[in-house]
Structure 1
Amino acid sequence: MTEHINGTNVQHVFVVFNPVAGTRDPEDIRRIFDDAFGKASCTYDLYETTGKDDIVSVVEEALQKNPSLVVAAGGDGTVAAVASAISHTDIALAIVPVGTANVLARELNIPINAERACRLIVEEHTTTQIDAMQIDNQRFFLQIGFGIDSLIMRDTPREEKRRFGRLAYVRTGIGWLFGHNPIRFTLVVDGKRYRPKATQISIVNGGAFGIPFLRWAPDIYPDDGQVDVCIVKARSLLDYFLTFWQIVLGRQRVGRRIQYFTARESVTIHADRPIPGQADGELIEELPVRVRIVPGALKVVVPPEGSSGQQKAPERASAKTVEPAEQPVEVSQV
């Protein structure tokens, strides 16, 4: 469901800003807030995170002032924390992407430029409802991963991310590609049990990788009431290269190195060894975890369809009917 909003109706916003996200000088971002909101006669309250914040409590207190919107200015971790805090309300989330990857902003075609993202908030925009993936009481909105991505995230120093941006992940990733052995996972997807041997398991609510033009698959959307479970079975440098090439060509659902399953209710994951996880750019608890799918959980500000900041999504299929080329071993009903 979408709703068109006149930006002049946005009179007061609450901003959660992570000043250590990304590579830009935080003082520049503060000036952007003053300029964009000041010109629109929109007042705002600013909260800057410290890394030890209880974002839920911070946002709940701010909601007492009835803001028109809540703004998350930071990377995907900051966005996820704020989104989780307001997803039980009817307040819309606006994103000012100033992080390293900014995957959710890219998925929703929100301008990556901070100035343009702020202008979108106070000018004409649309809101859309996106699904959530819930672990315990916390909700995530793009992807949850166990394997190569979480290991790279754990081992990439914040200082390198600030200095090199997304290239910092590449540097760390090269080391893991040579030294990561496949893991035996146990998955329960909407009641069906699978035991694949894989180097990466991702539960994906949106197709964006965080790298322009690359997607997990062309038919994954954050507002369709379901998620994709992506199983990556690459075991050598050649496998990783061929997997990457499949993604570049848009042939992710063809071949034996990536498998996909659709989940509409829940996904439970176990592994044969301790391994960290990542959810929307932040490290989370080790396995096992249970992920519950929550349709239409969050209202988000996005560009109006057809605007320069909005890329028209490809025509979606009525249902995903593509089956994996090879079933994981030991498939049974639970």
Structure 2
Amino acid sequence: MSERVAIIRNRSAGRGKSDLVDRVAEKLRRGGQHVRMLETEFAGHAAELSGRIAATREADVIVAAGGDGTIREVAEGAYGHKVPVGVIPAGSANVLARELGYMRGGSISARHIANALLSRDLVDLYPFEIKRGGRIQLGLCWLGVGFDAAVLKNVSPSLKGRIGRASFVPAIIQALFEDSSLPPVHWSGAKEESGDCGWALFANIRRYAGPFTVTRKTDFDQPGLSCLLNTRKGAWARTVDQFAIGFGAYDRRCKAWLLDDQSVVVGGERVPVQVDGDFLGFGESEITPAHRPISFRAYVKGR
């Protein structure tokens, strides 16, 4: 039986991925699906489009064609409605797409992506809520407070558009040298504890920055986040952190626990914050695991 597929495409995500989106859409049409393509025009537009489509049941599945930030926006709009979300990995790192099996062996194939969407296999992903300045938004992958948010703040959008992931190299170098001057990251609330750290990462999935494993304490289909609080500061500490992430040993460098049914307030006035690879700004954030999942189309055998 054919389905109505709404593809929400962020053309500014990734580099040279527009042809991939078109090829997946064509394969879906050949598979008997009724495909409708919508383009995002500004930040937050994907959430608006997805929310309208999900509320009016204009589609049987809403597909996010972009990076992790685009997927988050589409999922945020669909949250609370019984419309599943699919993925076309058209971003730079495509971390969640890897987690959901859309990139078999780390490669991107239009045929494999279309087959995953056509399979109609579903998995539940438990998101988390972020409260900032009275506004609540959804997160899927991670909330980073400190170093990685500073990296995203430093990334040049024009350079990223030209050279893709390579644009992160100068941004990382700048953040390394600035790390010792960042104010401490204050956190409080979990288990009635509080303290300061140099970098805080709240991970909802295992992967980070592409194929790397940042934690084994949680998974996307389980409620709760892995709280990774690193007390060390400075360029050398952050450099060692990157190696630890690369070797899957970052859990052991941090004060780590599972946040399941409580909230944590983290950050400070001059402390940068990012969610799912998007720089949010500065200030405090309250993070709370959600216990109502979002249904995602996934390549289950690829997990």
Fold shared per TM-score above 0.5: yes
Distance 1:29 1:259 in 2: 41
| Equivalence for 1:265 | 261
- Deviation at residue 31 of structure 1 after TM alignment: 2.8
- Deviation at residue 16 of structure 1 after TM alignment: 0.6
| Equivalence for 1:158 | 157
Distance 2:175 2:190 in 1: 31
Answer yes or no: is 1:304 the counterpart of 2:296: no
Answer yes or no: is 1:228 the counterpart of 2:220: no
- Deviation at residue 192 of structure 1 after TM alignment: 1.9
> Number of matched residues?
293
Note if contact 1:269-1:287 (Cα within 8 Å) is conserved in structure 2: no
Unaligned stretches of 5+ residues in structure 2: none
- Deviation at residue 100 of structure 1 after TM alignment: 0.8
- Deviation at residue 133 of structure 1 after TM alignment: 0.9
- Deviation at residue 220 of structure 1 after TM alignment: 2.4
Helix, strand or coil for the counterpart of 1:253? helix
Alignment identity in percent?
17
- Deviation at residue 45 of structure 1 after TM alignment: 1.5
Distance 1:91 1:66 in 2: 10
Please list the CA deviations of residues 259-294 of structure 1 after superposition, one character each: whole Å capped at 9, or x if unmatched: 212211233334454123111122224321211211
Q: In the alignment, which of 19, 42, 46 is matched to residue 11 of structure 2?
A: 19
Distance 2:249 2:117 in 1: 36
Give the letter for the 1:183 counterpart. P
The 5-angstrom pairing of residues 275-290 of structure 1 reads 275-290=271-286
The 5-angstrom pairing of residues 88-107 of structure 1 reads 88-107=80-99
Please list the CA deviations of residues 81-100 of structure 1 after superposition, one character each: whole Å capped at 9, or x if unmatched: 00011121121110101001
| Equivalence for 1:109 | 101
Helix, strand or coil for the counterpart of 2:38? strand
Larger radius of gyration: 1
Distance 1:30 1:224 in 2: 30
Note if contact 1:130-1:295 (Cα within 8 Å) is conserved in structure 2: no
Distance 1:237 1:52 in 2: 32
| Equivalence for 2:213 | 215
Q: In the alignment, which of 127, 133, 136 is matched to residue 128 of structure 2?
A: 133
Note if contact 1:97-1:114 (Cα within 8 Å) is conserved in structure 2: no
Please list the CA deviations of residues 177-208 of structure 1 after superposition, one character each: whole Å capped at 9, or x if unmatched: 1221253233224342221231x211110111
Give the letter for the 1:143 counterpart. W
Give the letter for the 1:163 counterpart. R
Distance 2:83 2:143 in 1: 24
Give the letter for the 1:177 counterpart. L
- Deviation at residue 304 of structure 1 after TM alignment: 2.9
Q: In the alignment, which of 238, 257, 262 is matched to residue 236 of structure 2?
A: 238
Give the letter for the 1:278 counterpart. Q
- Deviation at residue 215 of structure 1 after TM alignment: 1.1
Distance 1:194 1:10 in 2: 53
The structure with the largest helix share of the pair is 2
Distance 2:48 2:174 in 1: 39
The 5-angstrom pairing of residues 57-96 of structure 1 reads 57-63=48-54, 64-96=56-88
Note if contact 2:47-2:75 (Cα within 8 Å) is conserved in structure 1: no
Inter-CA distance 211–65: structure 2 relative to 1 (3 Å threshold) = closer
Note if contact 1:130-1:300 (Cα within 8 Å) is conserved in structure 2: yes
Please list the CA deviations of residues 54-113 of structure 1 after superposition, one character each: whole Å capped at 9, or x if unmatched: 434322332324422110000111110000111211211101010011111122222252
Answer yes or no: is 1:250 the counterpart of 2:248: yes
Helix, strand or coil for the counterpart of 1:90? coil
The 5-angstrom pairing of residues 184-223 of structure 1 reads 184-198=184-198, 200-212=199-211, 214-223=212-221
Helix, strand or coil for the counterpart of 1:275? strand
Distance 2:158 2:175 in 1: 19
The two structures have a TM-score, normalised by structure 2, of 0.88
- Deviation at residue 34 of structure 1 after TM alignment: 4.0
Distance 1:283 1:72 in 2: 19
Distance 1:50 1:73 in 2: 14
Inter-CA distance 240–121: structure 2 relative to 1 (3 Å threshold) = same
Unaligned stretches of 5+ residues in structure 1: 1-8, 312-334
Note if contact 2:68-2:95 (Cα within 8 Å) is conserved in structure 1: yes
